[in-house]
Amino acid sequence: MTDLATYNFAYLDEQTKRMIRRAILKAISIPGYQVPFASREMPMPYGWGTGGVQVTAAILGPKDVLKVIDQGADDTTNAVSIRAFFQKVANVAVTTKTRDATIIQTRHRIPEETLTAGQTLVYQVPIPEPLRFLEPRETETRKMHALEEYGLMHVKLYEDIARNGHIATTYAYPVKVEGRYVMDPSPTPKFDNPKMHMSEALQLFGAGREKRIYAVPPHTDVVSLDFEDHPFEIQHFDKPCALCGAEHVYLDEVVLDDKGGRMFVCSDTDHCEDRREHGHAGHLLAQQEAAE
Amino acid sequence: MATPLVVSEVAKSFTMHLRDGIRLPVVNGVSFSVKKGECVVLGGPSGVGKSSILKMLYGNYAVDAGQILIEHQGRLVDLAHAAPRAVLEVRRDTLGYVSQFLRVVPRVSALDVVAEPLLARGVEQAAAREKAAGLLAKLNLPRELWQLPPATFSGGEQQRVNIARGFITDHAILLLDEPTASLDATNRRVVVEMIAAKKAEGVALLGIFHDEEVRDAVADRILDVSAFSPRKAAA
Amino acid sequence: MSAVPLLKVNDVSKFYGSRIGCRNVSFELWPGEVLAIVGESGSGKTTLLSCLSTRLMPSSGIVEYHMRDGQYRDLARMSEAERRFLMRTDWGFVHQNPADGLRMTVSAGANVGERLMAVGDRHYGNIRATAADWLRRVEIEEDRIDDQPRSFSGGMRQRLQIARNLVTSPRLVFMDEPTGGLDVSVQARLLDLVRGLVHDLGLSAIIVTHDLAVARLLSHRMMVMKDGLVIEQGLTDRVLDDPREPYTQLLVSSILQV
């Protein structure tokens, strides 16, 4: 606790946290709407999750249990750094177990295990505006949100089909929240989009550089945009996880050698470990054990 | 009404602002009428204002004073004071005009140039084209020209396209501005026959013909425009 | 001809500070009618067009539009949402520079399809078929449907812009110097195309141009502007064959005869 003397709890001062909480409350009240907030300088560069960190700092209490993942993994640089940061400035308990966490800060994934009531998922968002790449003017995109003019979003999907024969957007796939606002779900794979729909957990999104916070409250409609003749589909993998044998999960490709050897493993490391602890084994692990 | 066109006390002058506002009187006190089935020919030396009268009647020239009364769909319209869209309506349904020169529209074939007035009145394209083809055949326009835009046609060929375009509708009044000027004898005779047919249908025709033979063949009456010349009156 | 005007313009003025944009302009536009606004640069014709098309708020005066439900609406009193909806459904606006009216980094098909998607069309196949049909109507090869307008010539871009505007069957199209930056031969083709489409679709159009030949070919009626005022108006044939005002006479006499 001695380290804490130099910092306020969770790094940010109380006034800042109140300001961010007000933005969060507004975001929860208007699902999918991007609320501007006075994003602070954080002791890490933009792009490292400054938005997510500020949201987490504003909602974190001493009794919370924090999990931080980056691309589904608890042990990557970004995740380790942010977890260490909050251990130091808030002295909260941390975990890698999805079901034990009360707050999960994430970059680019939603855990495989279904989140439950009382849990909060905090997304790190690089570019919150889904219309940005087609309409560079912020004044115009705000107006389009205000007037519900979302034809442009379908123009993007149209272009995808025209070029690739199918909707080739695989991450940051736009969704419509509660039938009103079109929202960028941050660069999560579209595989995770259905998990946002009617989730029991609270989902908060923080964009530090762009100074925006938005939210999807529990039990909210989240619908991925599509065409009648090109309906939304998630990615499918032909093989199960090489380590735990899980099917219907999001897999990462791992290169094994320089001879073209590769394996597909769970991107959610906690999920994978949990399964292995419960005796599941994929073909690679089985081979290894057989060899030993 | 047996007199679909009545012109009353019409005066016209040009004010040339680019030449110190000099005022050129053209005609004064023009009064005449044309009955159904009648062909009235405007006579008099050139420059006396024959073409100007036709252009006033068709709305291309404004009128300083007087009335131009046209029977249009059972009511009288004063073209001298009508709104632009009323003039357009009268042109579409009642008042036809064969000018001396064809205003060529790029890329539109001769056949479609001729058929256009019918299309504008809602006739189906196939029927309009068929009628256009009939007229072009009658006027001896070589069949291989029908699908070409008339821009590159000779003067006589363009004129025949123009005549066909003017005669294709059942307009109750037809204005003819030297329709036979660049035609050979054969085609002049065809036009004379077509005018006779229009007269038989009860169309009121008003024209300018310099060719005496044609004039004598079609005119029921010759109206000497010199009588309306303000210069003559002044002298 | 329908019995009521599509657009009623009453005493519209626009001032830029103490400078006059346009002053006391009144007229009515009827269904199926094409009106040309001519005048030299700075005469106020583009300002007037902007006031009519709600791109600028007039300083005074009223512009009323006959909505599809039969009601007249004061454009200045409509909500922005209604105005924008009108602009992308019942109206079209063809800019002089196609880059201002197109999305240059989006394919031709999507440029045409955008308005359909904006009004809720969600069937890719139908949207694409409609886009292809419109490309054909504006004489763009169907195999260019997936190309971006960046790779199109000036004339093609302008034709694409027209297709993009007409796909929702608007009733009123505003055009600002539609043939402005084009070669003469390309102009002729575009003019003929616009003429045909206006005729076939029964469109009303207001076309701003300084080119009297364009006005002659496309318009029924003409307004001549000078120093922000409409100095002469009437049937296009009449204004061009028998110009009354000194400035109109100067304008008409300045045309090069070929």
Asked whether residue A115 carries a pLDDT value surpassing 50, the answer given is yes
Residue A65 confidence class, pLDDT cut points 50, 70, 90: very high
Query: Rounded to whole angstroms, how far apart are CA atoms A205 and A24?
Result: 9
Average pLDDT over residues C15-21: 93
The ipTM, to two decimals, is 0.89
Residue contact A162–C110, C-beta within 8 A: yes
Asked whether residue B126 carries a pLDDT value surpassing 70, the answer given is yes
Paired sense of beta strands A212-216 and A202-207, if any: antiparallel
**Predicted local confidence at residue B118, as pLDDT:** 93
Return the SS3 of C46: helix
Return the SS3 of A129: coil
Span C199-229, pLDDT tens digits: 888 899 999 998 898 898 889 999 999 999 9
Chain-centre distance for alpha carbon C30: 15
Asked whether residue C25 carries a pLDDT value surpassing 70, the answer given is yes
Residue A107 confidence class, pLDDT cut points 50, 70, 90: very high
Give the active site residue among A52, A244, A245, A282.
A244
Residue A6 confidence class, pLDDT cut points 50, 70, 90: low
**Predicted local confidence at residue C183, as pLDDT:** 81
Chains with ≥3 Cβ pairs under 8 A against C? Answer: A, B
Residue C256 confidence class, pLDDT cut points 50, 70, 90: low
Report the b/e string of A221-250 with b at 16+ CB within 10 A: bbbbbbbeebebebeeeeebbbbbbbeebb
Average pLDDT over residues C67-78: 94
Residue contact B107–C188, C-beta within 8 A: yes
User: H/E element holding C94?
Assistant: strand C91-94
**Predicted local confidence at residue A162, as pLDDT:** 94
Give the active site residue among A49, A51, A245, A266.
A266
Asked whether residue B104 carries a pLDDT value surpassing 90, the answer given is no
How distant is the Cα of B126 from the closest Cα of chain C, in angstroms? 15
Residues recorded for chain B: 235
B171 sits in the region (left: phi over 0; alpha: psi -120 to 50; else beta) called beta
Residue contact C84–A147, C-beta within 8 A: yes
**Predicted local confidence at residue C182, as pLDDT:** 82
**Predicted local confidence at residue A2, as pLDDT:** 54
User: Strand order of the sheet with strand C91-94?
Assistant: C91-94, C172-176, C204-209, C34-38, C221-226, C229-235
Residue contact A151–C117, C-beta within 8 A: yes
**Predicted local confidence at residue B234, as pLDDT:** 46
Residues of B in contact with C192 (CB under 8 A): 105-108
Residue contact C145–A162, C-beta within 8 A: yes
Residue contact A143–C127, C-beta within 8 A: no
Average pLDDT over residues A92-100: 96
**Predicted local confidence at residue C257, as pLDDT:** 60
Residues of A with CB under 8 A from a CB of C: 134, 143, 147, 149, 151-152, 154-155, 158-159, 161-163, 226-230
pLDDT over 70 for what percent of chain B?
97
Residues of C in contact with A134 (CB under 8 A): 103, 106
User: What is the residue-averaged pLDDT of chain C?
Assistant: 92
Task: Give the closest residue to A269 by CA, choosing from A80, A107, A73.
Answer: A73
Span A249-263, pLDDT tens digits: 999 999 989 998 889
How distant is the Cα of C166 from the closest Cα of chain B, in angstroms? 21
Query: Rounded to whole angstroms, how far apart are CA atoms B150 and C220?
Result: 23
Asked whether residue A270 carries a pLDDT value surpassing 90, the answer given is yes
Asked whether residue A196 carries a pLDDT value surpassing 60, the answer given is yes
Asked whether residue C22 carries a pLDDT value surpassing 90, the answer given is yes
Task: Give CA torsion, residues A103, A108, A113, A115, to 10 deg.
Answer: 40
Chains B and A touch (3+ CB pairs under 8 A): no
Query: Rounded to whole angstroms, how far apart are CA atoms B186 and B189?
Result: 5
Q: Minimal Cα distance from B12: which residue of C?
A: C242
A272 labelled catalytic: yes
pLDDT over 70 for what percent of chain C?
98
Residue B18 confidence class, pLDDT cut points 50, 70, 90: confident
Strands (E), chain A: 35-36, 65-70, 93-94, 103-107, 120-124, 175-177, 181-183, 202-207, 212-216, 222-224, 251-255, 262-266
B73 touching chain C per CB within 8 A: no
Residue C191 confidence class, pLDDT cut points 50, 70, 90: confident
Residue contact C117–A161, C-beta within 8 A: no
Residues of C in contact with B124 (CB under 8 A): none
What angle (nearest 5°) sits at the alpha carbon of residue C113, between those of residues C107 and C118? Answer: 125
**Predicted local confidence at residue C3, as pLDDT:** 80
Pull the structure tokens for residue B184: 């050979």
**Predicted local confidence at residue C41, as pLDDT:** 87
What does the DSSP 8-state code read for residue B179?
Answer: T
Name which of A142, A156, A227, A233 to mutate to probe chain C: the one with the most chain C Cβ atoms within 10 A of its Cβ.
A227
Pairs of CB atoms within 8 A across B/C: 55
Average pLDDT over residues C56-80: 94
**Predicted local confidence at residue B235, as pLDDT:** 41
Task: Give the closest residue to C34 by CA, choosing from C174, C200, C185.
Answer: C174
Among the partner residues B18, B59, B105, nearest to C237 by beta-carbon distance: B59
Please tell me which residue, A90 or A288, carries the higher pLDDT value: A90
**Predicted local confidence at residue C207, as pLDDT:** 95
Q: How many CB atoms lie under 10 A from the CB of residue B4? A: 23
Residue contact C113–A230, C-beta within 8 A: no
Residue B99 confidence class, pLDDT cut points 50, 70, 90: confident
**Predicted local confidence at residue C242, as pLDDT:** 94
Average pLDDT over residues A65-79: 95
Asked whether residue C109 carries a pLDDT value surpassing 70, the answer given is yes
Span A159-181, pLDDT tens digits: 999 999 999 999 999 999 999 99
A291 sits in the region (left: phi over 0; alpha: psi -120 to 50; else beta) called alpha
Task: Give CA torsion, residues A95, A98, A100, A103, to 10 deg.
Answer: 80
Pull the structure tokens for residue A249: 């999960």
Query: Rounded to whole angstroms, how far apart are CA atoms B140 and B154?
Result: 14
Asked whether residue C1 carries a pLDDT value surpassing 50, the answer given is no
Span B137-176, pLDDT tens digits: 999 999 999 999 998 898 889 999 999 999 999 999 999 9
